[in-house]
Amino acid sequence: MTKLLRFFLAVALITISAWAQTAGAAPAGTGSSPAAPATSSPALITGPGNKIGTINIEQAVVGTNEGQRDFAALQKKLEPKQNELKAQNDELESLQKQLQTQGEKLNDDARASLVKQIETKKKSFDRAVQDAQEDAQNQQKEIFQRILQKMAPVIVKHAQEGGFAMIVDTSNPWPQSPILWYGEGGDITKAVVDLYNTQSGVPAPTAAGPAKPAATKPPAPKPAAPKTEPPK
């Protein structure tokens, strides 16, 4: 999941930042005087309004009732295609095994035909796997982005009401992200999930345990037998 949604974790920061700027902007026409120039004194991350909070965007989206419901539905939707790919994989493995065990017993024409058949089916299988992965990933991204767009204002509202000056995403561990360490005390992931569930009105799934995004990669075929070139 992390690799799949890394792009959307970046989108999360952009989306939340945009919401924060909109929510925190002064209303137009208030006649307020221009802000005073910033001083050179360093800011201290202490006191109300200066807290830094953390959220695992990935866990938050997937952990919502809506996310669990929709990812579980996607997994169910993809099962026929996964079964189809598994059948193709099993057939390919069977042919590869046949070449390994019977290749030396076959005449030149039969062996060449079997090698050609394996190569053709493998190309077809590889294309089918790639298409299935892209389709599944696109559908996962659609679910993730749809929920994230609705979650962004919930995060901003909770952060503002809680006196946070900044919320950082901890979905990726260091060094994949610039966050070296953070304490659990400032994590708002569960609070945001609870608030989102209340707002969405989607009931909790009946199955035990959180749903995970549907698998997008069918089992890869076992390594093929050493390629036997047909006689020239």
Q: Is the peptide bond before 230 cis (omega within 30 degrees of 0)?
A: no
Crossing angle for the helix pair 2-24 and 108-161, to the nearest 10 degrees: 20
Place of tokens 């890869």: 220
Cβ(6)–Cβ(172) under 8 Å? yes
| pLDDT tens-digit map of 110-141 | 889 999 999 999 999 999 999 999 999 999 99
In the chain, pLDDT over 90 holds for what percent of residues? 53
User: CB count, 10 Å around CB of 44?
Assistant: 7
The CB-based long-range contact list for 4-7 (8 Å cut-off, 24+ gap) reads: 4/137, 4/140, 4/141, 4/213, 4/216, 5/58, 5/140, 5/141, 5/144, 5/171, 6/172, 7/141
pLDDT of 49 over the 80 cut: no
Closest by Cα among 115, 126, 117, 89 to 225: 115
| pLDDT tens-digit map of 134-187 | 999 999 999 999 999 999 999 999 999 999 999 999 999 888 888 888 888 899
pLDDT of 72 over the 80 cut: yes
pTM, to two decimals: 0.67
Tell me the C-alpha to C-alpha distance, in Å, between residue 221 and each of 21, 85, 135: 50, 10, 20
Closest by Cα among 217, 67, 55 to 142: 67
Task: Provide the mean pLDDT of the chain.
Answer: 77
Cβ(23)–Cβ(174) under 8 Å? no
pLDDT at 214 (0 to 100): 47
